[in-house]
Amino acid sequence: MSGLHVESTGEGPPLVLLHGWAMHGGLFAPLVPALARRYRVSVVDLPGHGHSRSLTPYTLDAIVATVAAQFPGPAGRVSILGWSFGGTVALRWAHLSPERVERLVLVCATPRFVATGDWPRAMARVTLDQFGDELKAAYRLTLHRFLSLQVQGREEGRATLAALRGQLFARGEPAPETLAAALSLLAATDLRDDARAISTPTLVVTGERDTLTPPSAGAWLAQAMGAARHVDIAGAGHAPFLSHRAAFDAAVDEFLDAR
């Protein structure tokens, strides 16, 4: 038993949704009904998040192996939509098993979350650590504040966030050790070489005002990957699928439906 929580609905080609760090698959609830009319949508709680058990050791390859094992499919191929941390998992999955991945949608994803001398398109390590400390000290308050900032000033986003508040913590809080392990994983991971080797058709979606994964990181990804296009959503932050649904849906639908 993997201990991985997956909720699947709809009919059609398989589409896997992977959420961000410290959250759970329930945040994708607004997207699922429309997608499920055309795809077999599987929403995953990543290991240690939501209803899924954690892993020891908590490594990126172990996470990929655990998630990928749930989706053999009739032909063994899936499309993946990964947001933030979920985008990191999706990138690594596509690199390790290119024959298994049909298409990628990378939402506010980056090959490297922490800035270095040769990678300025990221936040400082101290910023990432501070966010982790705030989550450990006051998980619910910090997560509410984080999501509110992402939809600030948008009626559509505020309405979506209000609808989500009731279920945001319905799956509990990740254990502090999981938050710490996942944060350390994000801080240490560098997938720039992986990205250069991926030729899977890919849509990279960024938010113009995203400060966690700047749009310049997404632009780099789209240029580095062999078959990628980049859509930057004006005015959006780190969660464009919540704050700018019309623009987000249009970009994703056009990409996924193209054959």
Please give the positions annotated as active site: 84, 210, 238
Q: What is the CA radius of gyration of the chain?
A: 17
Look at the chain and count its residues: 259
End-to-end CA distance of the chain: 36
Q: Are β-strands 78-83 and 5-9 bridged in parallel, bridged antiparallel, or unpaired?
A: unpaired
Candidates 23, 94, 91, 29; CA nearest to 52 is 23
Query: Torsions phi, psi of 57, nearest 5?
Result: -75, 160
Give the separation between CA 246 and CA 170, rounded to whole angstroms: 27
User: 57 preceded by cis ω (within 30°)?
Assistant: yes
Among residues 49, 41, 39, 58, the alpha carbon closest in space to that of 19 is found at: 49
- Give the separation between CA 103 and CA 125, rounded to whole angstroms: 31
Decide if 241 contacts 152 (C-beta within 8 A). no
Cis-peptide, bond into residue 176, ω within 30° of zero: no
**Tokens 């959503």 identify what position?**
233
